[in-house]
Amino acid sequence: MFAPCLFHRVEAVGYQHVLQVDLEVNGLMLTQGSREVTWQVEYPLTRTLTSEVRTLIRLAPQDLGGIVPLAMDTEILNTAVLTGRTVAVPVKVVTVGTDGAVSDVTESVECKSTDEQVIKVSERCDYVYVNGKETRGKKRVTLNFTYSFLSAQLEMSVWIPRLPLLIDVADPELSQIKGWRVPVSAGSRR
């Protein structure tokens, strides 16, 4: 089992990526999670040591490069506010290994909508939905997905009708549709 650990800082003035450490862990019962490692740096020329540093190492069952949330569509038309019927879009989350291997991890991810007044995510993270209780739409709402130490975002657009919905019909007289029966009310029978 390998747990890649990359030590770097956000690119800022004066900081550089200087070290990458790949560790092999043997004999662990749990293949995921994290362990704490204490380490320090020794400078051989001056024979001085830095103070000890504690680092949290996150473990994974394989060398993971990232996760990717995949949606059948990135837009939802929220008709649920008109009909009361849930509108959903299926989502699948996959890991991509450093060797290019792809695995479905939808059942194991955690997920959250950044704005539940616009869109929601199912408990199992396998679909996103609107159910009519939303208060607004949004062009780019973000959904967060996390698997082990990896996270990724999915952007969706949610379109919602302005209420009250006003419909203007040019011809206010309704005509019978050919082939359809006209219902007869009990009071109008001859």
Rounded to two decimals, what is the model's pTM? 0.61
pLDDT at res. 11: 47
What pLDDT, on the 0 to 100 scale, is given for residue 5?
A: 45
* Strands 64-71 and 75-77, bridge-based pairing: unpaired
Q: Which of 30, 29, 32 minimizes the C-alpha distance to 57? A: 32
**In the block, residue with structure tokens 């060797």:** 99
Tokens standing for residue 92: 């699948």
pLDDT given at position 4 = 45
pLDDT at 99: 84
| pLDDT of amino acid 44 | 83
pLDDT at residue 79, as a whole number:
93
Q: What is the pLDDT of residue 29?
A: 57
CA gap 151, 95 in Å, rounded: 10
Domains (ranges, CATH) in the chain? 2-59 (no CATH), 64-159 (2.60.40.3460)
pLDDT at residue 186, rounded to an integer:
65
pLDDT at 17: 60
Whole-angstrom Cα distance, residue 6 to residue 18? Answer: 10
Local confidence pLDDT in tens for the 190 residues of the chain: 444 444 444 445 555 666 666 666 666 655 566 778 888 888 888 888 889 888 877 666 667 788 999 999 999 999 999 999 999 999 999 999 888 889 999 999 999 999 999 999 999 999 999 999 999 999 999 999 998 878 999 999 999 998 887 878 888 787 777 777 766 666 655 5
